[in-house]
Amino acid sequence: MNALFLGYGRMGSAIAQAWLEAGLVSHISAVDPYLQTASHATLYNDVAALPTIAYDIIVVAVKPNYACEVLSALPPGLCQQAVVISVAAGVTSQKLSQALGHGCPVVRAMPNTPVLVGAGCTGLFAPSGLSERQRAQVTRLFSAVGTASWVEQEGLLDAVTALSGSGPAYYHLFSEALAAAGIELGLSPELAKTLAAQTALGAATLQTQADADFVALRTAVTSPNGTTAAAIGVFEHESALRRLVETAVRSASRRSEELSRES
């Protein structure tokens, strides 16, 4: 399979590398205007320089405000047999199809940065027009970089974006705060960083592998009247943390909706 990436920044290059390593694609071409070199890909600085090849997969991995522009500049001959997959936050399938200007199937994907280490999760949506074979192919591609889950309503991608697309940043922020608190208590910055990161990894591993829900896992750490209870009491006072998280995730979802209107 031949894949073409329009935009070869963090997301595009991470996905491309994983697909190549998993043997799911045989060759990657990438268009990115200012890059001098691109690992794992044949690089072009302009779509006009692309050879006329019928690509199997075309990935739109530019910033949302450029997504329609790059698709409308694509010569139709390149997409005859392609499935077009856009990772651009908030850009609707209708706008992507309009920009393409012909009937090739469009999929929206919302991955997250842990695709870099094969631990991503991707929400997927396709309007009608995608065959079962193509759907299975897209599932296989995103399963190579973590989990792949389809949603049946496009609007739900705003929630996916707010939860897992942006989610890694929330966990990094929490680790940053946890490490800073450890430094305040006298730990060296190196040790505080190691403890915060390893605790996040350990907790996430338990969440994905242990046969217990989040509440049971939390309860297992929390001895009556112990240290964890002291901290949880602060987070849970008037549901402070839960309310903050809900407000933050709603705000991300609203921004995703706004991007749909702006793009």
**List of residues contacting ligand NDP (CB under 6 A):** 6-12, 31-34, 61-64, 66, 70, 87-89, 110-113, 165
DSSP state of 162: I
Does position 111 bind ligand A1CAB by CB under 6 A? no
* Among the residue ranges 137-145, 159-167, 189-197, 198-206, the one whose residues contact ligand A1CAB (CB under 6 A): 159-167
Taking the complex as a whole, how short is the minimal distance between the CB of residue 157 and ligand A1CAB, in angstroms? Answer: 11
Cβ contact 129:191 at 8 Å: no
Strand arrangement of the beta sheet that strand 120-125 belongs to: 42-44, 27-31, 2-6, 57-60, 83-86, 106-110, 120-125, 146-150
* Among the residue ranges 27-35, 72-80, 133-141, 161-169, the one whose residues contact ligand A1CAB (CB under 6 A): 161-169
Q: Which is nearer to ligand A1CAB, 165 or 182 (CB)?
A: 165
Number of H helices, E strands in the chain: 10, 8
Distance (Å, whole) CA 159 – CA 60:
20
Among 122, 161, 260, 263, the residue binding ligand A1CAB under the rule CB under 6 A is: 161
The residue to which tokens 């009247």 are assigned: 225
Where does 22-125 have alpha helices with state H? 67-72, 93-100
Q: Which is nearer to ligand A1CAB, 69 or 262 (CB)?
A: 262
Among 166, 253, 260, 263, the residue binding ligand A1CAB under the rule CB under 6 A is: 166
Q: Which of residues 70-99 bind ligand A1CAB (CB under 6 A)?
A: 89
Please give the residue whose beta carbon sits closest to ligand A1CAB in the complex: 165
At 230, list the tokens. Answer: 């002291």
Does position 146 bind ligand A1CAB by CB under 6 A? no
Taking the complex as a whole, how short is the minimal distance between the CB of residue 71 and ligand NDP, in angstroms? Answer: 10
Distance (Å, whole) CA 179 – CA 177:
5
Instruction: Report which of 160, 137, 133 is spatially closest to residue 149, judged by C-alpha positions.
Output: 160
Taking the complex as a whole, how short is the minimal distance between the CB of residue 177 and ligand A1CAB, in angstroms? Answer: 20
Determine how many CB atoms are found less than 10 A away from the CB of residue 51.
8
Distance (Å, whole) CA 137 – CA 143:
10
Q: Which is nearer to ligand NDP, 11 or 107 (CB)?
A: 11
Taking the complex as a whole, how short is the minimal distance between the CB of residue 150 and ligand A1CAB, in angstroms? Answer: 18
Enumerate binding residues for ligand A1CAB (CB under 6 A): 89, 161, 165-166
